[in-house]
Amino acid sequence: MIVIKNQKLKKILKIVIPLILIPAVAVSGVLLFDEQKHIFVSLMVAFLSLILFITGFEKKVTGTRRMVLVAVMTALSVLGRFIPFFKPITAITVITAMYLGGEAGFLVGSLSALLSNFYFGQGPFTAFQMLAWGLIGLIAGLMAEKLKKSRAFLLAYGVLSGILFSLIMDVWTVLWYSAGFDIDLYIASVINAIPHTILYAVSNFIFLYLLAKPFGEKLTRIKIKYGV
């Protein structure tokens, strides 16, 4: 397991990868590559997500243990996507970020989209799903203490996460249909997506309400027991 020792490099990568490199790859995948190459774009996002995750490692042993936990949370998230209508991916991503860090949350969200789409269908949209769920996890990691202390704040973040996911996916819709960004088309896409946005928000609210406490307690015990 690779561990990045340079703290300054870690700080730079934690900003550049999720806010510059991955969005650039996702947008480039739509504008510069044909549909046959979308899987390579998604794999590049997955690779960058893994590098971001590695920036959270302090020691090789604890990093390996975190990887095991992330693998388990990703598997649960992928399985949860088979639930009709209501999907727990966002909730599991947020919970992971709260207890394992924003980098772990980003990786779970990103990989959940990539792996589940091998069943649901890969496409140019996959990279944007990976980005959207990844950013939701990263932000949750930054606000972890507040989310743990206030259930109301956590549930509110779940609702806002549904809106954020929809807004990011609407960017993909515009880029795909217009080969460029058209603000009028974006506004129209946002309006047309309102029913889906509401479903995302309600789904996140329900799953966070049901899962946050039991998952949080188990992850906390595992962290203490294994020194993660």
Cα distance between residue 5 and residue 114, in whole Å? 29
Contact 39, 113 (CB under 8 A): no
Stated pTM of the model: 0.92
For residue 64, the number of C-alpha atoms closer than 13 Å in the C-beta half-sphere is 4
Alpha-helical regions (H) of 32-150: 38-54, 60-80, 89-100, 102-120, 125-142, 144-149
State the chain's mean pLDDT as an integer: 90
Q: What's the average model confidence in pLDDT over 83-90?
A: 89
pLDDT digit string, tens, across residues 61-81? 566 778 889 999 999 999 999
pLDDT digit string, tens, across residues 179-227? 778 899 999 999 999 999 999 999 999 999 999 999 999 999 988 877 7
Would you state the torsion angle of the CA atoms of residues 158, 150, 214, 101, taken in this order, to the nearest 10 degrees? 70
CATH code of the region 7-222: 1.10.1760.20
Contact 144, 98 (CB under 8 A): yes
pLDDT digit string, tens, across residues 4-42? 666 788 889 899 999 999 999 999 988 887 767 789 999
Note the residue count of the chain: 228
Cα distance between residue 181 and residue 197, in whole Å? 21
CB neighbours of 41 closer than 8 A, spacing ≥ 6? 25, 26, 28, 29, 33, 124, 126, 127
